[in-house]
A and B are shown apart, each in its own frame.
Chain A
């Protein structure tokens, strides 16, 4: 069972990032350079995984280990994208997404959920709260930079709504 879940999440990440098709993302390439990503997760290990792998693609990573700190950082630093955990004490990921969407200064920051919650209902809630990506743990951290890059590229192309539809239409992702 665990093996199957691993495989699914892995392939899901890849599909969303479409990494290999463009033949990019292998090296410490310049394609991610300059991007600033905020990682909000109470799990130190998850933050570490994101930080190392995003940095490898030249991205700048800022971290918060709780929802409240994450919101503050988002407002202050205005990152290009937020990787957001859901199950956190006190202010959880849903609340963070809600507040980000409510705040004019943070409204347009794309939010990609990284969570252990695999329910279709949770996925739908993620879309409702404005999420443009939804990764279920365990995920492939190697592909995370490509996911970020892909999401940003598509948003720049005006495909935000298409991204959100993709989340809810494919519960396997």
Chain B
């Protein structure tokens, strides 16, 4: 070995040493590539170098970096097939290095390159392999034709081994880094999704979380209840661009039938991945709209991923990631990440919706618990699914007894009820059916409506016991009132029929009796009709009290004065106006009350006697007493006489017939004037009715 050769060998070793040192310092693939292509190319005494690796799909070779070549020449060589008849492809395929001494040799070996018209000399292509597996190749181009000697070949191979190891190590490191970043990102995203049940908000935050780490643009679209597409979120680092994107969305609303993008993903539930958005795809998306084309070009879309948000086999929405101005083109790794992210988002949305539904159900149950009407939900088999508190109260069947059991077993009389209540379809107005409820311990009347829908039946039970009782009272009143009218009517009609008989000669006395009968019974009819009307008004609260200051003695005197005209001769009337304080009352109403009380007193004094009105002052009240010494009232009937149609009926009767309403009306009127009407009596000794009214204030 000559001195210069020895010197050269030492130089090479030193250069290799420096490359090794640089490579040791390099961490990322970029740093490794840079070290190889600056130090390595120089160490190999080459003019230029390039490094290519097998693509993820194993079908092509991707040129990762180059140094020293004319960029114009290199354009178009970014990626080429692994099975191509090219030096780098062949080296990667065979794992054996190529040492080509000249351009002519190259063209001979690789005719495909002969027409490329490149100037060149010697070329070395060495495999990049780790643990026997070739994952790429490094090519070196030299300034001259060289017949490579063994030693120089060895040196290139050593350089390649160093480079391969460094590159592999850095790629593993990078992969780890990427994986860690993804895990961190997914963890962050999961935490975000779990943070709130307001999924609209969390999904918006998720979109923001995706930029710029995972995308330049991130959009989330949701499928509405009627199949409409709702854009929930758009994220970009530049808020101005977000605004612009929203405007764009308004101007170009998504066509649900579009063959690409969100609509297609929502329809199919399958992801759509464009690693590199081609002109054709853009053309198809944009069509003839020049404005849209300008916009799309401005967006600079390069690569996109659109994945569905799915859960339990349903597609809820879509997550779109777009690589534009900064983000590198997407690979399968990002597609996987996006799919996982969308899956988690789908679950979160589903959970939130389920929770909200459950909560709504709970809210509905809470509301139903306080509704006064019984609400009963039966499933298709007639089993009780819901039984609110009012239903329990109305039917006297508790929720525990009813839930889960067929209604006809749990509720006595349910079968009858179900048979009587027609079911209407949802949306139509059900007509309530009023019926008595069996076995509730007391008389219950319920108005029931039923709505039948696909999954079951809803019954609403309204307790109308009180209304029913009121209605019954009303119809009883009408029935009783008609009874009261029938008797005087029978007398009038009968008297006229008898008087008109031609086959019978009536005595003068009989004729007079019949005429008097017609007169008095007609008057009785009029009184009854008046009192029925007044009772109706009192019941409806339609009687107005016009209270003024008045003198009860004067009113009493007037009442007695007019009574003298029609009382029997054996009755004497008297007034004891002791003090006679002035009172506040409705004069006409008080007169009406006193007329009635005096008439009663006369009527129930069949053996004659004395009827007296006494006025007394007691504390802040005025007492007006109507006193008789007639038949009196048995103690057990003293309160009942104030009931409607209750009548204490002595056999003796005078012309003024009762309607059975007089005392009821008197008490009602007095009470409406802030007073009270009471009675004291001793059978056989007479009665005292006392009207107590407030004094003038």
Contacts and interface: CB of A to CB of B under 8 A. Distances in A.
B651 A42 contact: yes
B651 A28 contact: no
A89 B503 contact: no
B486 A138 contact: yes
Interface in B491-542: 491-495, 497-498, 501, 503-504, 506, 510, 513-514, 517, 521
A6 B491 CA distance: 12
Interface residues of A, number: 31
B489 A52 contact: no
B503 A45 contact: no
A119 B491 CA distance: 20
Contact of B495 (A27, A44, A45, A118): A45
B649 A138 contact: no
A136 interface: yes
A53 B498 CA distance: 7
B278 interface: no
B649 A42 contact: yes
Contacts of B483: 87, 116-117
Nearest to A26: B503
A27 B504 CA distance: 7
Interface stretch (A76-84, A104-112, A139-147, A161-169): A139-147
Nearest to A29: B503
Contact of B491 (A45, A53, A88): A45
A48 interface: yes
Contacts of B486: 116, 118, 136-138
A49 interface: yes
Contact of A119 (B479, B484, B495, B653): B479
A170 to B, nearest CB: 19
Contacts of B506: 52
A28 B503 contact: yes
A46 B501 contact: no
A49 B483 CA distance: 19
B653 A44 contact: yes
Contact of A141 (B498, B503, B653): B498
Interface in B166-184: none
Contacts of B494: 45-46, 49, 138-141
A65 interface: yes
B487 interface: yes
Contacts of A44: 653
Nearest to A41: B487
B74 interface: no
Contacts, number: 86
Interface string B205-226: 0000000000000000000000
B588 interface: no
A66 B52 CA distance: 130
Given A42-B649, A118-B482, A139 B503 contact: no
B648 interface: yes
B634 to A, nearest CB: 11
Contact of A6 (B482, B493, B650): B493
Contact of B487 (A26, A56, A66, A116): A116
B161 interface: no
A137 B489 contact: yes
Interface in A110-145: 116-119, 136-142
Contacts of A137: 486-487, 489-490
Contacts of A48: 513-514, 517
Contacts of A52: 498, 504, 506, 510, 514
A30 interface: no
Contacts of A2: 485, 489
Contact of A43 (B479, B482, B491, B513): B491
Interface string A11-50: 0000000000000001110000000000000111110110
B204 interface: no
B647 interface: yes
A49 B493 CA distance: 10
Contacts of B498: 49, 52-53, 141-142
Nearest to A53: B498
B517 A45 contact: yes
Contacts of A28: 503-504
Contacts of B479: 119
Contacts of B489: 2, 6, 137-138
A27 B493 CA distance: 21
B507 to A, nearest CB: 9
Contact of A49 (B488, B491, B651, B653): B491
A87 B651 CA distance: 13
A89 B490 contact: no
B482 A46 contact: no
Nearest to A69: B651
Contacts of B485: 2
Given A45-B495, A116-B487, A56 B648 contact: no
B596 to A, nearest CB: 20
Contacts of B495: 45, 49
Interface in B450-501: 479, 482-495, 497-498, 501
A46 B504 contact: no
Contacts of A87: 483
Given A49-B495, A89-B648, A116 B490 contact: yes
A66 B649 CA distance: 10
A53 to B, nearest CB: 6
Contacts of B491: 43, 45-46, 49
B515 to A, nearest CB: 12
A43 B486 CA distance: 12
A46 B503 contact: no
Interface string B641-655: 000000111110100
A66 B651 CA distance: 7
B487 A43 contact: yes
Contact of A56 (B488, B501, B513): B501
A26 B513 CA distance: 23
A56 to B, nearest CB: 4
A142 B648 CA distance: 32
Among A6, A45, A142, the one with the most B-chain Cβ atoms within 10 Å of its Cβ is A45
Contacts of A49: 490-491, 494-495, 498
Nearest to A68: B651
A138 B651 contact: no
Nearest to A89: B649
Among B479, B491, B501, B521, the one with the most A-chain Cβ atoms within 10 Å of its Cβ is B491
Nearest to B510: A52
Nearest to A2: B489
Given A65-B651, A116-B487, A138-B494, A27 B503 contact: yes
Interface of A: 2, 6, 26-28, 42-46, 48-49, 52-53, 56, 65-66, 87-89, 116-119, 136-142
Interface of B: 479, 482-495, 497-498, 501, 503-504, 506, 510, 513-514, 517, 521, 647-651, 653
Counting from the closest, the 8 A-B pairs by CB-CB distance are A89-B649, A116-B486, A137-B490, A138-B490, A45-B491, A49-B494, A56-B504, A116-B483
9 contacts: A42-B653, A45-B517, A46-B490, A65-B651, A116-B483, A119-B479, A137-B489, A137-B490, A138-B493
Given A116-B483, A138-B490, A140-B494, 5 more contacts: A46-B491, A89-B649, A137-B490, A138-B493, A139-B494
